[in-house]
Amino acid sequence: MGFSSALQSRAAHEALIVRQDAELRLMETMKRSIQMKAKCDKEYAISLTAVAQQGLKIDRADEMQGSLITKSWRSYMDELDQQAKQFKFNAEQLEVVCDKLTHLSQDKRKARKAYQEEHAKIAARLNHLTDEVVRKKTEYQKHLEGYKALRTRFEEHYIKAPSRSGRKLDDVRDKYQKACRKLHLTHNEYVLSITEAIEVEKDFRTVLLPGLLEHQQSVQESFILLWRNILQEAAQYGDLTADKYKEIQKRIDTVIGAINPTEEYGEFTEKHKTSPTTPLLFQFDETLIEDIPGKLQSSTLTVDNLTVDWLRNRLQELEGAVKDCQEKQLKMIEHVNGGSPVANGSIISNGSNTSNGIQSNKDSQCRQSKDLNALRCQEKQKQKLVDMIKCALNEVGCEELPSGCDDHLTLEQNFIENGYNNEQQQRSNSTSSPGLGIMNELMRRGGVLTLLRGRGRHFKRKSTPQPATPMTRSRQGRFNKMQPRSQSLGSLSISLSTNRPLYEEEWFHGVLPREEVVRLLNNDGDFLVRETIRNEESQIVLSVCWNGHKHFIVQTTGEGNFRFEGPPFASIQELIMHQYHSELPVTVKSGSILRRPICRERWELSNDDVVLLERIGRGNFGDVYKAKLKSTKLDVAVKTCRMTLPDEQKRKFLQEGRILKQYDHPNIVKLIGICVQKQPIMIVMELVLGGSLLTYLRKNSNGLSNRQQMGMCRDAAAGMRYLESKNCIHRDLAARNCLVDLEHSVKISDFGMSREEEEYIVSDGMKQIPVKWTAPEALNFGKYTSLCDVWSYGILMWEIFSKGDTPYSGMSNSRARERIDTGYRMPTPENTPAEMYRLMLKCWAADAESRPHFDEIYNVVDALILRLDNSH
């Protein structure tokens, strides 16, 4: 299709002018760029000449006499000078290319101006006649009204005149006749103007404008040809693979290849041979800590509230360094065994006799061995520091540590017992003892007496019932709601002395990951107890919301009791109850006070209530089982999370459960609960007996009708319409992530990558992205919306109608991505209804806003099914 038939409209004409303006701007941009390239090449040629001249200023002393390296270097510098001259010549030629581009731009501006003038000329003729027709029509209407008025007046006078004569009647008759003549003349002029306009418009549309556009197309294409030739010429003078450069590089390679490493250093090594260096001895200078009593010990790490954060950060850095060393070693070992080339400063080409351009295979292997030994030494050095810090932290254990200053507990007790109540004396004592200074500040704030009443020997009276204040009664009522039965403060200690296990407490959340715990604690004073695994050991943690989120490891004494900074208790329940009712801070430093116990959510099930029967699959985080609930005898599906996964992965695992728990739709797999009381963490869902949709399609490929396939598409659209209404982006919609029940109904499953927001920007890399199911804007920019799910739904439809085939079969992910970006779309599967394939193509629109939403998709598929049912 050419200009003459396709670009006749006014909008097309304006678009052509805009296109020509854009081309002229592009020419200017190209000209500036080529000018800059020529300038850069000239400057590079000058710099390269300077390099060559500098390189030739070598020492001509006897120390380098007869050196092959020196001889090769001089030849190398001479060739660099030749390169500089070639660059300068090419830069001069690029300036000539710029001149050609300038002339082309000038000619193109003239051609554009000529086109605009000619187009305006032929359009002006048509516009003039169009205006003339309108003007004649207006005159026609004006004279027609005058004619009608005079005719009416004449008829009136004619009827009234008794003799059909008289001066007045004659006057009226004369005016009427003039009006009639004027009307007829105007009529003829209007008819002639219309006829002329018709002919001019026809010539404009069929002859003049097509001819002008056809000529303009020819002009435009000729300019494109000249433009291409100029660009080819510019590319030619920027081609670093040209024969002249190759010849220079070949000469450089020849002179360098003449170097024989075994002959270069023999005499030099013999002349300067020395004996090995003496080892250095490093020891801790114990004189540094002679005047510091007790706290700091030689060659031993000190762990307290002054150093713990630094030690943890340092530990994290060192562990990262160890992991990095291990990964580099693994890559190097894989290369030695025939794997891929390794890093660590060397790029080694397999099958080549050189490495880094100068080493033989033997030298390359020595280099690898040296680098591998260096990495092993680095790993051993870092691991030594890691073990040392871990050992020091494990000895302390608690996440909230005592002060790093002098031990102030004894100072506090002495302060109370000796009755230092005078403020002046407190200030005097604070100058001589750092610990007492802390005490004075606590006393001034009114908190230390309360603190000390709950410490040391004062806890001998802990079994004596205390009077219930309105505050303690309120707190007791809240806490009692967490117990399985109502009880008073006096009877509570009796209940806690029984063998009731910790996992039966409503405020105990098992192995719920730290990130999930933080989500539950919203107000200052909210708390719960959980279990965590540290250094392969189970530890009980108290998590509290107090000016942020704080986590305290329950310390175990030598007698098997439990404590924080205060007194020990026989059970964790008693410890937590004491902290809750005493309203004392868990630690002095944190100031955290327990106010509201946070119960397990209703969907947190007991692990013991789930009986695993048989493994039915494997997921990203662990195995999938068929199971039974003891309480209801209901068959369920259970996803398990491997115990060895880090907390971050466990949080991602539980994300699916957190999303599913708020959804209720027949085409969304239902969540029954999660189990986090102990390992392994489990997500319990309804058991969909038909299994994976992908497996179902492949097993039943011969028995599926179009009606069934369309029904599956409708089910999936219904589920996704529901998710879209909840602002949930699935991000992994595919046949493998859908389930089929015994009634052939499809349910959306696997929400591990889902996000509950209208728009989601990926920030954690694209490694797990299912490329062939993912929309282009998500792959290119990491931006996800519900319209990305629409693209994936189109792929799901293709899977359904292809009966489980693999999308973009035979293409790699990168190849499929390239083809999609260039406009390729998969062809229709065999026997797919045309309307369904058209819907797939709409889902695959490159512009996301052009894709239908799931509500529209559902209505289209439902209407097609209804029409199909009615036709039968």
- The token duo for 396 is 């302390």
Determine the Cα angle at 408 with ends 406 and 412, to 5°: 155
The response to whether 623 counts as a known ligand-binding position is yes
d(CA 231, CA 592): 72
Sign of the torsion angle spanned by Cα atoms 171, 173, 175, 177: negative
Active-site choice (526, 732, 750, 789): 732
* Alpha helix segments (H runs only) across 400-551: 409-417, 423-432, 434-444, 448-453, 470-480, 489-496, 514-520
Q: Is 619 annotated as a binding residue?
A: yes
621 is in an annotated binding site: yes
User: Considering Cα of 628, then 630, then 633, then 636, what sign does the dihedral take?
Assistant: negative
- Interaxial angle between packed helices 10-55 and 68-160, expressed in degrees from 0 to 180 and rounded to the nearest 10: 170
Please indicate if the annotation marks 624 as binding a ligand: yes
616 is in an annotated binding site: yes
- Reading the block at residue 159, the tokens are 């009827």
Positive or negative CA dihedral for 197, 203, 208, 209?
positive
**E-strand spans in 641-782?**
671-675, 682-686, 728-729, 738-740, 746-748, 755-756, 760-761
How far apart CA 549 and CA 592 sit, in angstroms, is: 10
618 is in an annotated binding site: yes
Residue 437 is assigned to a ligand binding site: no
Give dist(CA 792, CA 800) in Å, integer. Answer: 12
732 is catalytic: yes
Residue carrying structure tokens 């020509």:
20
Closest CA to 184 of 139, 221, 232: 139
97 Cβ neighbours under 8 A, 6+ residues apart: 34, 230, 233, 234, 237
Calpha distance 283→298 (Å, rounded): 9
Is residue 397 marked as binding? no
Is 250 part of any known ligand binding site? no
Element at 185 (helix H, strand E): helix 167-203
User: For residue 80, how many C-alpha atoms fall within 13 Å in the half-sphere facing its CB?
Assistant: 18
Q: Is the dihedral of CA 504, 508, 511, 516 positive or negative?
A: positive
508 annotated as a binding-site residue: no
Residues 712 and 624: their CA atoms lie apart, in Å, by 24
Edge-to-edge strand list for the sheet holding 671-675 = 604-605, 671-675, 682-686, 635-640, 623-629, 610-618
Question: Binding site: residue ranges?
Answer: 616-624, 639
Question: Binding site for ATP: residue ranges?
Answer: 616-624, 639
What positions carry a catalytic annotation? 732
